[in-house]
Structure 1
C-alpha cells in the first residue's frame, strides 16, 4: 500500500514539477467534456466549430474551436500541459466559449496530432503555434492561456510575436529556470523518491517524452505592456516530497514570480483551493482570469 501511494505521488509530482509529460500524467485530473462529442461543421470561410486536422509542414495537427467571434475581442487559444491534450481542457474551453471565440490544439506528439519527426525545440513548436493561429484567428489578436508546460510555451512565444499576442494567462506555468531549480533543491546526494523525481523530470526536460520537446532554462523576456495574469497553485502538495518538499514549493512559487517580468501589467494570484490543475480544481477562477485579460486586451 505504501509503495503504491509513493508511486502515485511520484507520478503526480513529476507531472507538476516538470510541467511536462510522463506516463500516467493523465490520471491526475480530467476535463469535464469529451472533444469527440463536439460535432465538426464549417460556419464560414476560414472559420469552423468543432475539431479538424490542419497540415503543418506535412504533419497533421488536431485543432478544436468553439464559440462565436466577437468583433473587437481577441480569440482565446488554450495550450495544454505536458502529457495532456486538448481533451483535458475541453470543459474549460466550453465555459470560455459562452462569451468568446476559443480554440485549442494538440501539439505534435500529443493527443490526436502526428508524432514529431525528431526532437522539437521551443522555436519549432512556435512555428506550429503560428500556423495554428493563422488558421483559427487570421489577422485577429489572440490571448494565449497556457497550463504548466503550455504556459511556458506561451510565455516564450509572446515576446517574439507582440504583433498578435494581446494577452497571457499562465496557469501554474513551468518555471523559466525549471532545471536549475530542481537541481538546486534536490542535490545529487538525495535518495529515494526525491532522486527519482529529479532524474525523471530532468530527462523529460531534455526531450525524453512523447513530444520530444527540449525545454532549456532561460531568462524571462518582455512582451511589452500586454495584460498578463499568473495563477499559482495554493495547495502545497509538492511538500509531500520527503525532506525536499518545502524547498520545491518555494522554488515553484519563485518561478511563478519570475514570469511577472513579462509585462508592466502583470499580476500574480493564488488559487487557494487548487493543486496543479487549476482550471479543473477552480474552473471559475481560471475562467474569470481569462475573461479579465480578454477584456483588457480589447480595451473594455
Structure 2
C-alpha cells in the first residue's frame, strides 16, 4: 500500500494526516470578514443572521469563521455542513454552493481548523458543541436545522443532536467516524501485529486522543437517540481500506459495522452505499450527497409546514 493509500486510510478512520494531499473543491465567493458578537440562546433571532459569504463571529470569546449562502425559505430548515478532521469549511464549498440554490446553507471552521481561532487547550465534544450552539444561534435563530457532517464532522453531528432536539431536526452522516473507533481498531489490529496496520492504528488512536489540529479528544461512546428525526447514513463503496496489508479487510468490515451503529441515532434512519466513492463522498459523488441532504431537508420541511 502506498504512502497516499495509508494517508487515505487515516482520513477514513478519523482525520487528515500531516502531508496528506487533498484536492479542494471550488470556494464560495467571500465577503469582507467582519467580527460580530453572538448573544446567548435567549437572544436568538427568529430567522437568523442572513448574510452571504464569510464572516468572523465571536462565540465564547473566540473568533469563529462562518460561511453562509442561499436565502431562507419559509418552513425550510437551515442546513449546516460540518467538515471532517483536518479539513475546513473550504473543502465543502462545492456542495454548499449547489445546495444554496434551494436552501439556506452555512458551514464553519471549528476551533483549531481553517480560519477560526485556536483552542486554549484540549477540547471535548461538549466544548466543541458550545461553539456549534453559538454558530446556530447566529445563523439559524429559531429555525429548524439539518446537520450534514463528514467523517469526524459526522460523529460530532450525531453526538450533538440528542442533546439539542429542540433545533436539530435532521441528520446526514457521510462516512462518519465510528462511534467506537478506538475499540474497533484495537480489535481489528492486534498488539502483536507488525507493519503498516499497527502504524495506522497507533496514529489514529493518537489523533482520537487529541493529537490533531483541533486538540479534540474523541472517546468511544454509545449511540444515543435523537428521537424520530430523519437520518441518512452514507457509507463509502470503494473498499480502499482493504488495501492495508493483512488487516485491511477486517478494517473495512469494522467500518461497515460502525456505520450501522449510527442507525441507532433515530428510529427513522436509513443507510445507503456510495458505490463509486472512497471516503470523500461529497467530492467523489457530489450529486448523491446533495440529493441526500435535500431529501432530509424536504422531510423536515414537510413536518414543519
On whether the aligned pair clears a TM of 0.5, the verdict is: yes
Distance in 1 between the 2:213 and 2:98 partners? 29
Comparing 44-53 and 137-146, the one that deviates more: 44-53
- Please, which of 261, 276, 281 is the counterpart of residue 273 of structure 1? 276
Asked if 1:79 corresponds to 2:72, the answer is: no
The CA deviation at 1:192 is 1.2
Closer/same/farther in 2, CA of residues 237 and 45 from structure 1, 3 Å limit: closer
Report SS of the residue matched to 2:234: strand
> Tell me, which stretches of 5 or more residues in structure 1 are unaligned?
none
Question: What CA deviation, in whole Å up to 9, does each residue of 1:172-214 have, x standing for no partner?
Answer: 0000000000110011111111111011000000001110000
The answer for the alignment partner of 2:108 in structure 1 is: 105
Query: What pairs up with 1:45-60 in 2 under 5 angstroms?
Result: 46-60=49-63
- 1:12 counterpart residue number: 8
Q: Distance in 1 between matches of 2:113 and 2:238?
A: 28
Q: How far apart are the structure 2 equivalents of 1:48 and 1:40?
A: 11
Classify 1:65/1:192 alpha carbon distance in 2 versus 1 (closer, same or farther; 3 Å).
Answer: same
Structure 1 residue 8, shift from structure 2 partner: 1.8
Could you tell me whether the CA contact under 8 Å between 2:186 and 2:201 is conserved in 1?
yes
1:187 equivalent in alignment to 2:190:
yes
Partner of 2:37: none
1:34 aligns with 2:27: yes
2:71 corresponds to: 68
1:145 corresponds to 2:140: no
Task: Tell me the secondary structure at the aligned position of residue 289 of structure 2.
Answer: helix
Are residue 243 (structure 1) and residue 246 (structure 2) matched? yes
Aligned counterpart, 2:44: none
Kindly state the Cα deviation for residue 38 of structure 1 after the two structures are TM-superposed. Answer: 2.8
CA distance in 2, matches of 1:29, 1:281: 11
- 1:12–1:28 Cα contact (<8 Å) kept: no
2:56 and 2:66 in contact (8 A); partners too: yes
Deviations 1:233-260 (A, max 9, x none): 0000000100001000000000000000
What is the match of residue 205 of structure 1?
A: 208
- In the other structure, the counterpart of 1:23 is 18
CA RMSD in angstroms, aligned pairs only: 1.5
CA-CA distance at 1:166 after TM superposition: 0.6
Q: Which runs of 5+ in 2 are unaligned?
A: 35-46
Q: Say if 2:48 and 2:140, in contact at 8 Å, map to a contact too.
A: no
Aligned to 1:233: 236
CA shift at 1:40, angstroms? 4.8
**Residues 36-95 of structure 1: CA distance to partner in whole angstroms, max 9, x if unpaired?**
x333599x9832110010111221100000001001010000000001000000001001
Q: C-alpha distance in 2, partners of 1:193/1:116?
A: 32
Secondary structure of residue in 1 paired with 2:80:
strand
Count residues with an aligned counterpart. 291
Q: Distance in 2 between matches of 1:256 and 1:7?
A: 26
Provide TM-score, normalisation by structure 1.
0.94
SS at match of 1:48: coil
SS at the partner of 2:52? strand
CA distance in 2, matches of 1:162, 1:111: 28
State the distance in 2 between where 1:229 and 1:54 align: 30
Query: 1:41/1:110 Cα in 2 relative to 1: closer, same or farther (>3 Å)?
Result: closer
Q: Compared with structure 1, are the counterparts of its residues 78 and 45 closer, same or farther at alpha carbon in structure 2 (3 Å cutoff)?
A: closer
- Give the conservation status (yes or no) of the 8 Å contact 1:77–1:142: yes
Q: Distance in 1 between matches of 2:80 and 2:61?
A: 22
